[in-house]
Amino acid sequence: MVWTCGNGGRIWNTIRGGDTITNIKQISYIIPISFELKQNYPNPFNSTTVIEFYIRKNGIYKMDIFNNLGQLVVNLFHNKFNEGNYELKYIAEKLTSGIYYYTLNGENNTLTKKFILIK
């Protein structure tokens, strides 16, 4: 697994030598009203999708992707985040078509959404 940081507060992550890539950027510094995980768009998608999430309280958060059997497929991040709104660009180059679930965990909160990958 490789992590790197860039300008504008962006964080890039690659797991298993480029199998999946994430690009996370903070899109607002305004403290959100609640901890929230938005539905990805587009959905269904073909290789690339965007996931927005809102962090209400500074802390350690992680996002994982699970297959339809509940098996962990990818850890997108496990990192400290400040309050604000974030956007994650997810490139699922080597996942097969199917239904997957993405979960955001942190500060005693867990939210899950479903996405469909069609190749």
- Whether the model pTM is above 0.85: no
By residue range, what is the domain housing residue 24? 2-117
Asked if 111 and 104 count as a contact pair (C-beta separation under 8 A), the reply is yes
Query: ∠22-87-77 over CA atoms, to 5°?
Result: 40
What CATH number is associated with residue 14?
A: 2.60.40.1930
- The Cα–Cα gap between 29 and 9 comes to 12
Asked if 29 and 20 count as a contact pair (C-beta separation under 8 A), the reply is no
pLDDT at 21: 64
The domain total for the chain is: 1
pLDDT at 15: 47
Length of the chain: 119
Query: ∠87-26-2 over CA atoms, to 5°?
Result: 75
pLDDT at 49: 95
Please write the tens of the pLDDT for every residue from 56-110: 999 999 999 999 999 999 999 999 999 999 999 999 988 999 999 999 999 899 9
Please write the tens of the pLDDT for every residue from 7-31: 455 555 544 444 566 689 999 999 9
